[in-house]
Amino acid sequence: MKCYESITEKGTSWTVVSPIVFTYKVTETQNLLDPSNDTLLLGHITDLQQLEAIKQSNKPIKRFVVVDQEVYKIYGPKLTEYLEANNVLYKILALPTTEENKSMKMALKILEEVNNFSIDRRTEPIIAIGGGVCLDIVGLAASLYRRRTPYIRVPTTLLSYIDASVGAKTGVNFANCKNKLGAYIPPAAAFLDLSFIQTVPRRHISNGLAEMLKMALMKHKGLFELLETHGRMLLDTNFQADNSVYGRNCLQVASQATRIAIVTMLEELSPNLWEDDLNRLVDFGHLISPALEMKVLPSLLHGEAVNIDMSYMVYVSKESGLLTEDDKQRIISCMVNMELPVWHEACTMELIQKSLQERLKHSGGLVRMPLPVGLGEAEISNDTSCEILHRAYSKWCDELNVSSDSNCDS
């Protein structure tokens, strides 16, 4: 930290320059809830001496765990057994962490319980187990408690596995806007175990595939080709090893696809955790989708709304001369194959224009629209004309609103 003093006729001022360094781990593991695997309790500790001291100590480990109530129904007994086998003093709080409940009220409910349980804010991280909504709310609650209490993310949906768990964002919805309250406080660690995905409903697998497709279109042609070829297989097998027609190949593809999605996401996020640079490729699919998602809540899942946004933007890209008709068709076919909606009646031209106007307010006066340029490459556009937006919208509606009606209602 540095402090600079400057004296003028108006008075004295001090400028403080204090770089903030966050270090956090994203760890892929197996059998996270096996009592012999201590990753959940100790995997966040990087200091080997500290780790050894805890292992030698007779003092029981203390953990406050927030878990989505649907996840608790499936894994509650296993989680309890894990904590008791490891002699942990614990409190498990199971909550309905849905998009409709993603509020300050729920964050405060968590904080009241944390306060009653009493934890050491330096050595006893709060553990969040659930989908992206759960991880976001708990992250915000932890960042508020005693100004910053460490927390651990354990994603149990595909979407949170490759998206919410690996970044620094926390947040809740406010004033009917998605994630309007939040902080950039990364977790102490994120622990990823693909086996949680085996109990995720098919629609939620599809939901997560949308965010994987986002990273593929922006940054990685190889990932796009994996999803184009194997997307349906991943959907059919829940990213697990499979003894049916697919055989062992499935787990290999699942592991490869999730790894590429995570690495490309971390490459994009890590130099820009605080979004100082507003030109963000990870915003693809997130210009119109927040307003669409909130407008039709709860009928669209997050990834579904993102996919509808991406689908429209693919048409914008084609009309801007950045994408060939063949690539456009390949992308839309890939989306449909992964059972993602590609059109929605609530995504009107009025909603699109309003969303882009809102974008200008929060992005330094520029729309900063990420658009695919071929497959696996992208550029940020600031000068897409109204004429192109309207032309793309007309073609998008003409070509997709009939064929995707069944998708939109599912």
Active site residues: 169
Q: Tokens 């989908």 — which residue?
A: 131
Query: Distance (Å, rounded) from C-alpha 312 to C-alpha 286?
Result: 12
Cβ(158)–Cβ(205) below 8 Å: yes
SS3 92: strand
Per the structure block, which two tokens stand in for 319? Answer: 């009309």
Task: Find the helix or strand (DSSP H, E) in which 74 lies.
Answer: helix 69-85
**Cα separations in angstroms, 170 against 139, 143, 203:** 5, 8, 24
Cβ(304)–Cβ(340) below 8 Å: yes
Query: Distance (Å, rounded) from C-alpha 165 to C-alpha 159?
Result: 9
Closest by Cα among 132, 152, 131, 139 to 107: 139
- Backbone angles phi and psi of 44, in degrees to 5: -85, -15
- Strands 189-192 and 151-155, how do they pair? parallel
- Strands 89-95 and 126-130, how do they pair? unpaired
Scanning 176-248, the segments in alpha helix (DSSP H) are 202-219, 221-237
**Cα separations in angstroms, 209 against 18, 63, 67, 194:** 39, 32, 23, 14
SS3 131: coil
